[in-house]
Amino acid sequence: MLKAMTRYRYIILFLINLYPILLHAQEVTIKGRVLDKENDNPIAYAHVFFKGATQGATTDFNGNFVLEGERTSDTLRVTYIGYEDRELLLDKGQTDYRLTIKLTPTSVQMQEVVVSSRGYENPAWEILRKVVDNKKRNNLIRLKAYEYESYTRNELNLDNITEKFKKKKVVRDMIDAVERGGISIGEDGKPILPIFVSETISKQYFTNNPKRKTEFVERTKVTGVGVDDGSVVSQITGATFLEYNFYENWVGVLQKDFVSPIAESWKLFYDYELDFQTYEIDGIPCTRIKFEPKREQDLAFSGSMWITDEAHHYALKRIDVVVGKQANLNFVEQIRITQELIPVEEAWLPSQTRITLDIGEINDKWGGFLAKSYVANSNFVVNKERAAEFYSQSVRVREDAYEEDLAYNWDEVRQGSLTEEDMHIYQMIDTLKNLPRVKTLVDIVEFLINGYVNIAPGLNLGTYSQLYAYNDIEDSHFQVGFTTDVDFSRDWLFKGHLGYGIKDDRFKYDLSGTYFINRRRWMQAGIQYSNTLEQVGIYNDDEPLGTLFTAASRWGNLVFPFYNEVVKAWYQTDFGIGMTARVSLKRRDFDPLFPFEFINEDQDNKIQTDFTNVELVTEWMYAPGEKRIKTMYNTRIVVSTNDKPRFGLRYTYGIPDFLGSDFEYHKFQARIWQGFRLGAFGRLTYELEGGYILDILPFPLLETHQGNELAIFYSDRAFNLMRFGEFVSDRYASLRLEHNFAGMIMNRVPLFRRLKWRLFATANTVYGSLEDENREIVLSEPSDSKLKSLEDEPYTEVGYGVENIFKVLRVDFIHRLTQHDDESDRFGVKLSAKITF
């Protein structure tokens, strides 16, 4: 017995001494994925290795890695700049592992580079100079044209849910449904609720001289809470809105301009640190350079970039940038953009891009949002030039792109198969959007945003801002409107309203119908009939001032009120690139509710108190590069524009003796407007407009400059200290300026930086003239007592203010510099609401 025990002891001691040798010789395979602990986003380019070893594996763009070879330690180590190092103890004896490793973000200060009297400089600078010297060679804009196929996946989740928000019944229902569905809760114990996911297959086309682009959406798969119309969503879920070119000096992110780490002015904005290790990426030797802003208040990135060697002309191979809280963006906790590029005909084009947007808690009663986007590009074709007409639309969607097709195999076209968690997300969104409380909440939110409530498929009632008004003509005014949407018809749009005034005992109504001849070219024809109560100086049939402004202006004592009966027909189409043409024929009966007499020279100097005019209006607009999205209400909105100027021209001919018309006249109007960046100094927007009327007309047919007597509301289409109907012109020129400093000033003041307030300045001026004949034909008193011309001096007002108060409010402090009288206000304060980042 004793001998046996002694023998076993020797065997055990032998095995213990042999274990390091066996461990060293053991071949293992470790496959896994490295994720961000806070948002489960893949971490590309992380280093995975056995503790004590110098070599290992690097995660790919999707965070995946494979580590094969001899096992040299029981501890696996994972490192990446900007994250805490992670160590995992591996089970002994196992040779095949499948791991999901999550890293915790941290703040890492870069090492300081000391410049001595001998002239020592940062070793990264020499490489950066070569990168900048080769930018023109490597930048994709050097190509005449290029195109590729794109796969895009977008995902939106509700996260950072507060304890107060959890107590809401609708949120509790959603959390219960997610937990029942088996979706894992985050490591911090807080649930993440998926509310939207989309996949899109599209083709991107670009040309650089002149610069144009278009995206053709071939197939899109959309599911989300509150998302009903896939045709609308498919226009904004493709790759066209996820383009980032770090070779440009400025990179646009959330309507802000961030300086690129390889901009010509790189030394002014960034500190750099060279990683002396050489990385081989796709067989190309690369050097990593870490960077961070010199000043935290600057709109600049922090992160890393991988630069190729001399043989590949010091190109940008990979880049991983972060925008953190220091950027002072509204609601934004973090933005991360990771991009990988490949060489195509010597230029470098993006092959993969991943964007993560982390929206923090909006307030302590709500939660935040986590948005993820992934774009993979393939099948590149360069220098294949196409006709200019090909680029006429920024986004085109195949008619059946959003319709479900069971025969379509997404696994063959998407970049990689969906994970089990991805498939769960689709299932859970379908569950969440059918919860009764969620459906009710979605209806309420849609009503608040759009002003309409859906009462039947394709039919919507509204808007709430115009349901009631009180004024001196009608006393109480009640109104209800309606509009159809794409569920009613994609070819027809009907809309209108019916109102009634108690005091004047009169119905007011408006009805229009539009037929879409060709939706791709937005070719349409329509007809309208209306009989409404309007005001001279506020009514603008061609360019509405906005729903809230118009609704608020109908309260109180109306200025130059009149009944307005209109019959109108029009035709509109897009032609060329960024060009829109419109022609309309309109007959109007003007029935004033104020003292009004004029001499009609076109009718043998007849004295009239009302009139009828018939107009033929032709309009042309040129807006190169503007992105227009078709909405579910069969309208279009501009969601993104470049910095190019936009132009508009209008000619109006008053047709005499036609359908009872009293006048013949000619009107000309032209407008140019543009917004462009001024680098670190912010963004400037200007609008220049002019008009000329050739003939003698009563003042309601002249240019009555838009004033604003509303005590609270600010309007960017009005002169905000000018009274309604105060000035009239038959020829004029106006200029509007607004400069947003984008945090350049207030980000340097600690208090304002914490509040995230932003400073802006405005200046508006208009100069006009009025022919004596136009003055003399009006015989009634109001024109003499109130209407004035601008011949002696222009009207000028300047302003300044703060926006982003409580992340929504904007306050304008305005000074009227000229054209003072006893009734004018020389200073005013106006409020408006605008959500910006």
Q: Which is more confident, 24 or 810?
A: 810
Query: What mean pLDDT is predicted for residues 650-663?
Result: 94
Q: Check: CB of residue 725 under 8 Å from CB of residue 707.
A: yes
Q: Check: CB of residue 496 under 8 Å from CB of residue 507.
A: no
Q: Terminal CA-to-CA distance of the chain, rounded, Å?
A: 81
- The 8-class DSSP code of residue 7 comes to H
Looking at residue 792, its pLDDT comes to 84
**In the chain, pLDDT over 70 holds for what percent of residues?**
85
Q: Which is more confident, 441 or 606?
A: 606
Query: pLDDT at residue 520 above 50?
Result: yes
Burial of 77 from C-beta contacts in 10 A (0-12 / 13-18 / 19+): middle
Q: Quick one: pLDDT band at residue 669, thresholds 50, 70, 90?
A: very high
Query: What mean pLDDT is predicted for residues 596-609?
Result: 87
**In the chain, pLDDT over 90 holds for what percent of residues?**
36
Q: Quick one: pLDDT band at residue 477, thresholds 50, 70, 90?
A: very high
- The 8-class DSSP code of residue 593 comes to S
479's tokens = 């109104």
| Residue that the structure tokens 């070219």 belong to | 521
φ and ψ of 424, to 5 deg: -65, -35
- The 8-class DSSP code of residue 144 comes to S
Q: Quick one: pLDDT band at residue 114, thresholds 50, 70, 90?
A: very low
Query: pLDDT at residue 58 above 70?
Result: yes
State the CB neighbour count (10 A cutoff) for residue 75: 13
pTM of the predicted structure, to 2 decimals: 0.77
617's tokens = 């209006």
Looking at residue 51, its pLDDT comes to 84
DSSP H/E element including 494: strand 492-501
Looking at residue 547, its pLDDT comes to 73
Query: What mean pLDDT is predicted for residues 159-169?
Result: 73
| Residue that the structure tokens 């159809």 belong to | 484
| Residue that the structure tokens 């600049």 belong to | 300
Query: pLDDT at residue 423 above 80?
Result: no
Q: Quick one: pLDDT band at residue 10, thresholds 50, 70, 90?
A: very low
Q: Which of 807, 804, 824, 808 is nearest to 816 (CA)?
A: 824
CB within 8 Å of 560: residues ≥ 6 apart = 535, 536, 537, 592, 594, 700, 724, 725, 782
Q: Which is more confident, 90 or 404?
A: 90
| Helix segments in 162-239, DSSP class H | 163-166, 169-181, 230-233
Query: pLDDT at residue 21 above 60?
Result: no
Looking at residue 16, its pLDDT comes to 44
Q: What average pLDDT does the structure give for the chain?
A: 83
Q: Check: CB of residue 629 under 8 Å from CB of residue 570.
A: no
Q: Quick one: pLDDT band at residue 391, thresholds 50, 70, 90?
A: confident
Please, what are the domains in the chain?
A: 2-103 (2.60.40.1120), 124-437 (no CATH), 451-833 (2.40.160.50)
What is the spatial distance between Cα 585 and Cα 784, in angstroms, rounded to a whole number? 32
What three-state secondary structure class fits 437? helix
- Strand-pairing partners, residue 49, are 77
Query: pLDDT at residue 302 above 70?
Result: yes
Give Cα 76 distance to the centre of its chain: 43
Query: pLDDT at residue 20 above 50?
Result: no
| Residue that the structure tokens 């005019």 belong to | 613
- The 8-class DSSP code of residue 558 comes to P
Looking at residue 14, its pLDDT comes to 45
pLDDT in tens, 562-585: 999 999 999 999 887 788 999 999
Query: What mean pLDDT is predicted for residues 484-512?
Result: 94
User: What is the maximum alpha-carbon separation in the chain?
Assistant: 138
What three-state secondary structure class fits 664? coil
pLDDT in tens, 721-751: 999 889 999 999 999 999 988 766 766 677 7
Query: What mean pLDDT is predicted for residues 375-398?
Result: 85
The CB-based long-range contact list for 412-421 (8 Å cut-off, 24+ gap) reads 413/151, 413/201, 413/219, 414/151, 414/153, 414/199, 414/201, 415/151, 415/352, 415/374, 415/376, 415/378, 416/62, 421/183, 421/184
CA-angle at 112, arms to 109 and 116, nearest 5°: 175
Query: pLDDT at residue 421 above 80?
Result: no
Q: Check: CB of residue 303 under 8 Å from CB of residue 291.
A: yes
What are the helix and strand counts (H, E) for the chain?
A: 14, 44
Q: Which is more confident, 442 or 478?
A: 478
What is the spatial distance between Cα 155 and Cα 224, in angstroms, rounded to a whole number? 9
Burial of 747 from C-beta contacts in 10 A (0-12 / 13-18 / 19+): buried
For 97-130, the DSSP string reads EEEEEEE-B---PPPPPPP-TT----HHHHHHHH
HSE (side-chain half, CA atoms, 13 Å) at 552: 14
Q: Quick one: pLDDT band at residue 640, thresholds 50, 70, 90?
A: low
Query: pLDDT at residue 712 above 70?
Result: yes
Looking at residue 213, its pLDDT comes to 85
